Amino acid sequence: MKAVLARLCLALCAALALQPAAADPGDLVDVDMVDGWTAPDGTVMAGIRIRVAEGWKTYWRSPGDVGVPPRFDWRGSQNLKSVRIHWPRPEIFETFGQRTLGYSGEVVLPVELVPADPSRPVKARGKAELGLCRDICVAVSESYADSDLAAPEAIRRAMAAQPDRTRIRSASCAVAPIKDGMRVTADLGLPSQGGAEIAVMELDGGDVWVSEPQVSRRGDSLRATADLVPPEAAPFLLDRSRLRITVLGRDGAAETLGCPAG
């Protein structure tokens, strides 16, 4: 039932995206690339800069039940083997009575562009599929390409704004089957990140729905419990190495990838 309700929320957001926007979608967001630097191995560090109109927001990689995660299509690039996107800490919003995670104003997403042939330059171009929300939601598609606009400091600031992977001193997870999937209870050795902390669980590389974790704290230990429901709505074999847990607080953010048995 929880998975069904989550998908209904996503359907609501998709339906809202079909409504006419208050302005042309092209006036709501601007997407371009900014240049950074090239590493000795030929990897290019650049940034996707997203500027959203006042009052609007777009989403983080894990946006919540009523958000739409950004999608980036790099077809049309030349000499590009792979891309790794780095995600700065998101803001927390309320959307249609639900908590969502994303960005307002301007955000730079650092990207590592790995060349197929390190001796040749990378020619990067792509298309961003973004969900934008205010009183309504719209879906927009914006093309971008590498440019001569250099912004290495903005890229470095965005890299520094990622959730810290050194703050979580220990992590263990208890996993139990439920009717439509698996329940994960994570115990993290993590000092308080300030205020009312929230946790996000993600299963990298899959289409498993994850509920909003319930969070409790005792001293320097945080517990987060969430249900993971696959498309077939049945218990499944969980690859713990793909489980990503992010904790967001008033003063900081922390993240870990992989959660062994306790």
The count of other CB atoms within 10 Å of the CB of residue 106 is: 11
pLDDT value for 21:
47
pLDDT value for 227:
98
Q: Look at residue 104 and tell me if it is in a domain.
A: yes
Range of the domain at 251: 170-257
Q: Are strands 91-95 and 253-257 parallel, antiparallel or unpaired?
A: unpaired
Residues 155, 174 within the same domain: no
DSSP 119-180: TS--B-EEEEEEEEESSSEEEEEEEEE--S-B-HHHHHHHHHTSPBSSS--EEEEEEEEETT
Number of structural domains, the chain? Answer: 2
Q: Look at residue 165 and tell me if it is in a domain.
A: no
pLDDT value for 96:
78
- Burial class (CB within 10 angstroms; exposed 0-12, middle 13-18, buried 19+) of 205: exposed
Residues 103, 182 within the same domain: no
Q: How many residues does the chain have?
A: 262
Q: In what order do the strands lie in the sheet with 44-52?
A: 29-38, 44-52, 106-115, 80-85
C-alpha 233/C-alpha 180 separation (Å) is 4
Helix (H) or strand (E) holding 51: strand 44-52
Q: Look at residue 99 and tell me if it is in a domain.
A: yes
Domain end marker among 160, 181, 209: 160
Q: Look at residue 102 and tell me if it is in a domain.
A: yes
Which CATH number characterizes residue 100's domain?
2.60.40.1250
Domain end marker among 127, 160, 193: 160
Residues 151, 181 within the same domain: no
Which CATH number characterizes residue 217's domain?
2.60.40
pLDDT value for 25:
64
Domain end marker among 160, 180, 198: 160
Residues 143, 95 within the same domain: yes
Residues 234, 214 within the same domain: yes
C-alpha 190/C-alpha 166 separation (Å) is 10
DSSP class of residue 21?
P
Residues 6, 129 within the same domain: yes
Residues 48, 85 within the same domain: yes
C-alpha 145/C-alpha 50 separation (Å) is 13
Positive or negative, the Cα torsion across 219, 222, 223, 225? positive
Residues 48, 89 within the same domain: yes
Residues 185, 62 within the same domain: no
Residues 145, 174 within the same domain: no
Positive or negative, the Cα torsion across 59, 127, 86, 203? positive
Q: Look at residue 262 and tell me if it is in a domain.
A: no
Residues 131, 189 within the same domain: no
C-alpha 228/C-alpha 211 separation (Å) is 7
C-alpha 136/C-alpha 154 separation (Å) is 30
* pTM score of the predicted model: 0.89
Residue 236 structure tokens: 């499944």
Residues 8, 138 within the same domain: yes
Q: Which residues of the chain have pLDDT under 70?
A: 1-26
C-alpha 188/C-alpha 216 separation (Å) is 11
Q: Look at residue 17 and tell me if it is in a domain.
A: no
The count of other CB atoms within 10 Å of the CB of residue 257 is: 14
